A and B are shown apart, each in its own frame.
Chain A
Amino acid sequence: MTVVIDRATGKRRGDRAPRPGPLQRMKRSYQKYWYAYAMTAPVVVVLGVLVLYPLLRGIYLTFTDATSLNSARTIGVNHIDATYEFIGLDNYADILWGPTAYDRFWSHFIWTIVWTALCVLLHYVIGLGLALLLNQKLKGRTFYRLILVLPWAVPTFVTVFGWRFMLADGGIINSMLDAVHLPSPLWLEDTFWQRTAAIMVNTWCGVPFMMVSLLGGLQSIDPVLYEAAEMDGANAWQRFRNVTLPGLQSVSSTVVLLGVIWTFNQFAIIFLLFGDTAPDAQILVTWAYYLGFGQQPRDYAQSAAYGVLLLSILIVFTSVYRRWLARNEQQLAI
């Protein structure tokens, strides 16, 4: 990939004259790349205004004791100025090791990790299995594929309500479990079953994306490789292990990363499935939302601090993941 790109710009690393002074370099780089900068400018501006500024402001808020009671607000015609104060790192200290920090942060943290790991694993394994099945010569392949992407085609907020009807006490799932004399758990009330239900629904929603991406990856594997493997006497498992999996590496590492990020940040499913009724089944994202907007008074500062913590976790994870990939000489498809 890099080779092609180098050809487009004629630039290659380690192929330069001795470095000129910084001003000169800036000028040269400007002359050479001004159109690249001009083309990226719109996104840079938008990101600066819509992401960077709010982010900085959010980070500032985490150092204050802002709640909905002391923030600037307008009641009728009266404008009340903000009265919150700078309190340093107190919010973070309180979240991480304040009294009852386990119940407020660490229990949600552990559950979020479990949730992310289990969901992504299930997405990937089921998605890969279905993709492999669909990548055969099979009658009705297109038909199966069309049905299997259905959970992706229908908006999540719609399907979650469908699941809510099914999981409700007395809903179809418990009726069916009753009919075959299995215990019918309280899916929407009991913490353990709430968590199970959430993972179930998220798996159902997330598999089609993995399936479709991996199917695309499978189809881009050169058939000659399979022929060669067959000639060498590789059996089905060996071909899967030594041709299919390496061929999928680039797609896999990308979709797994995306899957982790999306699942970690998955808001809609848990929020819509339980509302405010399941404090223990909330992952960190929905919990932060609850602190900031689901309760009275709204605790803006703590909610923002949760947000910053979440983002840090994700950034650390992604850096480690990319470094790990680099060490294994893989590359993300970006």
Chain B
Amino acid sequence: MSTTTVKTPPPVDGAPAGTAPAGKGPRRGERSRAGALTSHGILSVASLIALFPIAWLIYLSLGPDKDDYLHPGGILGKMTFDNYTFVLQHTPFFDWLWSTLVVSLGTTVIGVLVAATTGYAVSRMRFPGYKKFMWVLLVTQMFPVAVLMVPMYEILSELQLIDNYFGLILVYCSTAVPYCAWLLKGYFDTIPFEIDEAGRVDGLSPFGTFARLILPLAKPGLAVAAFYSFITAFGEVAFASTFMLSDTKYTFAVGLQSFVSEHDAQRNLMAATAVLVAIPVSAFFYLVQKNLVTGLTAGGTKG
């Protein structure tokens, strides 16, 4: 199984990188100090670049005034959590939280449930039409928002589903379902086929094999697919900005934009809300990221 997690040290002991000069001797893993130093240097700079914009956002969110971002030095003297208390008490923050959760979780549940059997079928069986089907799954990932937005808007307005959670969930499922099927196929591919065969020999039907043998083994894959659907729905901007009209039904991606309008730019509040949104999602990301990496590359490294 190619489910090496990243935390375990890689099997590669020698330095494959062009940056570290090769120790020619039999002792692998030994390299010149300069090489290691360069690596540390580059990685530190890269880490700083990765970290800074987020750290800066957090720092700015502590400044009480909406123009403080122009005078960052001034924030040091008057740091306060006022923005956070204001956001939690006087903005529709919790409404947005509710909408975001409803829409994202709805998408996740439907996406994974619908896609699971399909991922298994395309992983194990080469039925006629298989290639075309995989092609369709690939093509649906390529749909630019612009393709479906206009007709979806029309259809949903006819069905009175504009400004409705369910309407948005349906829209998100159009990308989440094929994506999950694709991702799950990659994960099912890593489960040895012998397990299926054993199940079949013991008299299980294909559905039985799937439900009783494969599904329990595929929990990490399902988690990754679920997480992915959740994150995609959570961060989607275009459809949410267009299809959700009343400000209590905004998802965070839309709500955050509403702080900056033509009349007023409450940047301090915006920064505070952004931080509040980012913390739980990022924490969750780090919790599942080990599986995430495995699931993502499972399809790729099989080769």
Contact = CB atoms under 8 A, between A and B. Distances in A.
A134 interface: yes
A35 B205 contact: yes
B299 A39 contact: no
B126 A6 contact: yes
A5 B285 CA distance: 33
A180 interface: no
A153 B6 contact: no
Interface in A209-260: 212-213, 215-223, 226-227, 230, 235-237, 239-240, 243-244, 249-251, 254-255, 258
B50 A165 contact: no
A135 B17 contact: yes
A163 interface: yes
Contacts of A268: 235-238, 253
Contacts of A57: 151, 154-155
A146 interface: yes
A24 interface: no
B237 A54 contact: no
A150 B114 contact: no
B285 A1 contact: no
Contacts, number: 386
A55 to B, nearest CB: 7
Interface string B127-158: 11000011011111111111111111111011
Interface stretch (A99-107, A189-197, A304-312): A304-312
A44 to B, nearest CB: 8
A123 to B, nearest CB: 13
Contacts of A293: 149, 153, 242
A25 B235 CA distance: 46
Contacts of A213: 296-297, 300
Nearest to A26: B128
Interface stretch (B80-88, B91-99, B178-186, B216-224): B178-186
Contacts of A148: 43, 46-47, 50
B18 A236 contact: yes
A58 interface: yes
Given A37-B127, A153-B282, A157-B252, A135 B114 contact: no
B212 interface: no
B283 to A, nearest CB: 9
Given A8-B124, A223-B13, A267-B237, A153 B285 contact: yes
Contacts of A8: 124-125, 193, 196-197
Contacts of B137: 43
Given A162-B57, A212-B297, 19 more contacts: A57-B151, A57-B154, A134-B43, A142-B7, A148-B43, A151-B50, A153-B286, A154-B54, A157-B237, A159-B57, A204-B49, A216-B4, A216-B301, A220-B2, A236-B20, A237-B18, A267-B237, A304-B147, A314-B142
10 contacts: A8-B125, A50-B170, A51-B148, A136-B17, A139-B40, A148-B46, A157-B252, A219-B6, A268-B236, A307-B146
Interface of A: 1, 4-9, 11, 29, 33, 35-40, 42-44, 46-47, 50-51, 53-55, 57-58, 61, 71-74, 126, 129-130, 132-140, 142, 144-159, 161-163, 165-166, 168, 170-172, 175, 204, 208, 212-213, 215-223, 226-227, 230, 235-237, 239-240, 243-244, 249-251, 254-255, 258, 261, 264-265, 267-268, 271-272, 284-285, 288-289, 292-293, 300, 303-304, 306-308, 310-311, 314-315, 318, 331, 333-334
